[in-house]
Amino acid sequence: MKFGSGAAILAAVLMVAACRVSDQDNAAQPANETAAIAPILATPDANDIHSFARPLEARVHHVALDLTVDFDAKRIGGTAILDIDRKPDTKEIILDDKGLEIQSVTDRSGEQLAWKVGARDANLGAPLAIALRPDTRRIAIRYKSAPGAEALQWLTPEQTAGKKHPYLFSQGQAILNRTWIPTQDSPGIRQSWEATIRVPAGLTAVMSAPRSAEPITQGGESVFKFRMDNSVPPYLIAMAVGDLEFEPLGPRSGVWTEPAMLKAAAAELADTEKMIDAAEKLYGPYLWKRYDMLVLPPSFPFGGMENPNLTFLTPTFIAGDKSLVSLIAHELAHSWSGNLATNATWSNFWLNEGMTTYATTRIVEAIYGPKVAAQQIALGVDSLSDEIEELGGASVPDTRLHIDLKGRDPDDGLTEIPYEKGAAFLRTIEAAVGRERFDAYLKGWFERHMFQPVTSAIFLADLRQHLIRGDKALERKLMLDRWVYQAGIPPNMAMPDPQAFAEVDAAVAAFARGGAPDSAGWGRWTTDERLRFLNKLPRKLPKARLDALNQAFGLNDARNMEVRYAWLDLAVANRYDPAVPSLEQFLTSQGRRKFVRPLIKALAADTSWGRPIAARVYVRGRPLYHPMVTRELDELKLGG
Ligand SMILES: [Zn+2]
């Protein structure tokens, strides 16, 4: 771990305070240990309203877990040992707890420490306050997760590809890890960690960290050990347990998945090593050693999750033709934006996702060429416009990059805004200063902020210091504050290439005028071109026109899940009965939030035609969906 010299200067400018709050603390620990403790930001915009922790008084800097995975009880239990850093006069440390069953809390010498769980908030869980003695620097908590812990999804053998073994995976982002790890669950409180994981013999545990020892199987149990030496935001601690096999893809990459999916997954991921090389050229060395991936069962609620060393992926990206692998470029790019420089709070989420979305198309361009990248940018801008409309228009506060989440769940901010408006902002800067200069700037940004939390204010100050450098005309041209703090899209946005989809757009116009579907075109088009076609069609179409499309392109049977989704979205909007069996199969065979949520919501909102379908589907699909998906859909009161 190293900190660039620029970081120290910026730290002084922004009143960044390291949490090593006294010289006494420094003296008490070996220098090499304290050097690895990431700073805590002290500015008001870095105050995390989604955590009960008070890290400037006492903070966790290392977590050591020793946990047993109990598939029968659907619980994880054992010990978490926390190394803490604290002000000498601090009387307690506050952790985040959501439903944990705490059995005991002791200090290094085994003495009991007093503890108390405070009032529970529906979104945040509750504060776990632990009394500290003057010399307490290590705490051991014996505990169990609750059977309904939201971070954990327990799958029955029937819900896996192999159908023989149960499966468990965790999803920490945004504030779910407090349901299985008692720590300070705030992205601004970076922690190194290690884990010993005990699972039933025959199953394999993987985590978002390198293995620190070879697994041992003994007495009906297999034991796996992991260690993450870099400090990470705690939402990046992740685990999966199942019948898993590994296939190497290159010198520093490989894929884990169930044996039945291994060949298809490895084939789809064949370009991974090239992507790592392309990303390093843009943003500097890859600092996490290996880049492995885990392809999960279809319940996984996201496209991917950038868990360090081990990206978690939905199997729905496997199309057989690598046409959806920009997902890998996205998760890989998070190795810099998100995992090195991390949003200090969830209001700053766009710094993770906007930068990553921008970097994704840069990696895609390096490998698949400028035309593919230009098309993906145009699709992104389309989805940005749709999202703004969906949110209620360009003056709605939730269209701001720096979003206000007071009293809300961080998942409320999980829209296209942080992703696509964030990326559009960065493309606008790139267009204004030139690619070469902006690339050099971004590389420097990651160097200056590696292994640190960042905020919108830090980013804007850094831009002004290292890119704008007092150029008043450039400052006016960029409209930085308007982009970050105001609603809607500023007028200086760099627009996507209007010719990116010239042929497809002509085909849409011809169909809208009453022409026959362009079968020859469809056969030639890439997935992105097909998506553009479906998304740009008039949203209201009579049955005969939908019949024509379905017959010409085989849409009810589309194997590409993005294409299938785009079609089903159109079908639901038109109450198109012939698509219903395809719709039901789609919604009961995978649990990706991006697909499931809008379709079920649209069905439920259509009280006469759609709602009965939604109710039928939800009863069957719900056991497959992750708690973070059902939490929202349960509110529709569909039963199931
Ligand atoms: Zn992302």
Q: Is the pLDDT of residue 455 over 60?
A: yes
Report how far residue 191's alpha carbon sits from residue 210's, in angstroms, rounded to the nearest whole number: 15
What are 72's two structure tokens? Answer: 């029968």
Could you tell me what percent of the chain has a pLDDT over 90?
Answer: 93
Centre of ligand 1 from the C-alpha of residue 330, in Å: 6
DSSP state string for 312-339 = EE-GGG--SSSTTTHHHHHHHHTTTBTT
Centre of ligand 1 from the C-alpha of residue 364, in Å: 15
Centre of ligand 1 from the C-alpha of residue 257, in Å: 21
Centre of ligand 1 from the C-alpha of residue 462, in Å: 22
Centre of ligand 1 from the C-alpha of residue 418, in Å: 10
Greater confidence (7 vs 258) lies with: 258
* Rounded average pLDDT over 152-178: 96
Q: Is the pLDDT of residue 263 over 90?
A: yes
Q: What is the pLDDT of residues 87-119, one digit of tens each?
A: 999 999 999 999 999 999 999 999 999 999 999
DSSP state string for 83-124 = EEEE-TT--EEEEEESS-EEEEEEETTS-B--EEE---BTTT
Q: What is the pLDDT of residues 358-368, one digit of tens each?
A: 999 999 999 99
Centre of ligand 1 from the C-alpha of residue 583, in Å: 27
Centre of ligand 1 from the C-alpha of residue 162, in Å: 29
Centre of ligand 1 from the C-alpha of residue 117, in Å: 33
Report how far residue 260's alpha carbon sits from residue 267's, in angstroms, rounded to the nearest whole number: 13
Q: Residue 16 has what pLDDT?
A: 36
Rg of the chain, C-alpha, whole Å: 25
Q: Is the pLDDT of residue 1 over 50?
A: no
Count how many Cα atoms sit within 13 Å of the Cα of residue 199 in the half-sphere of its side chain: 22
Q: What is the pLDDT of residues 120-135, one digit of tens each?
A: 999 999 999 999 999 9
Count how many Cα atoms sit within 13 Å of the Cα of residue 467 in the half-sphere of its side chain: 27
CB atoms within 5 A of ion ligand 1 belong to: 353, 356
Active site residue 576: no
Q: What is the dihedral of CA 167, 206, 559, 534, to 10 degrees?
A: 110
Q: Residue 32 has what pLDDT?
A: 42
Active site residue 331: yes
Point out the catalytic residue in the list 268, 331, 416, 447.
Answer: 331
Centre of ligand 1 from the C-alpha of residue 76, in Å: 27
Centre of ligand 1 from the C-alpha of residue 333, in Å: 8
3-state secondary structure of 463: helix
Q: What is the pLDDT of residues 15-53, one digit of tens each?
A: 334 343 333 333 333 334 444 689 999 999 999 999 999
Q: What is the pLDDT of residues 45-84, one digit of tens each?
A: 999 999 999 999 999 999 999 999 999 999 999 999 999 9
Centre of ligand 1 from the C-alpha of residue 334, in Å: 7
Closest CA to 378 of 554, 499, 472: 499
Report how far residue 448's alpha carbon sits from residue 216's, in angstroms, rounded to the nearest whole number: 41
* Rounded average pLDDT over 3-17: 34
3-state secondary structure of 537: coil
Q: Is 304 left (phi over 0), alpha (psi -120 to 50) or beta?
A: beta
Q: Is the pLDDT of residue 511 over 80?
A: yes
Q: What is the pLDDT of residues 556-614, one digit of tens each?
A: 999 999 999 999 999 999 999 999 999 999 999 999 999 999 999 999 999 999 999 99
Centre of ligand 1 from the C-alpha of residue 305, in Å: 7
Centre of ligand 1 from the C-alpha of residue 476, in Å: 30
Q: Residue 27 has what pLDDT?
A: 34
Centre of ligand 1 from the C-alpha of residue 337, in Å: 9
Point out the catalytic residue in the list 291, 368, 419, 565.
Answer: 419
Centre of ligand 1 from the C-alpha of residue 566, in Å: 21
Centre of ligand 1 from the C-alpha of residue 633, in Å: 22
Domains and CATH numbers, the chain: 341-485 (1.10.390.10), 514-636 (1.25.40.320)
Closest CA to 208 of 182, 187, 227, 184: 227
Q: Residue 180 has what pLDDT?
A: 98
Count how many Cα atoms sit within 13 Å of the Cα of residue 111 in the half-sphere of its side chain: 13
Report how far residue 17's alpha carbon sits from residue 28's, in angstroms, rounded to the nearest whole number: 19
Centre of ligand 1 from the C-alpha of residue 329, in Å: 10
Average pLDDT, the chain: 94
Please state the pTM of the whole predicted model: 0.93
Q: Residue 639 has what pLDDT?
A: 80
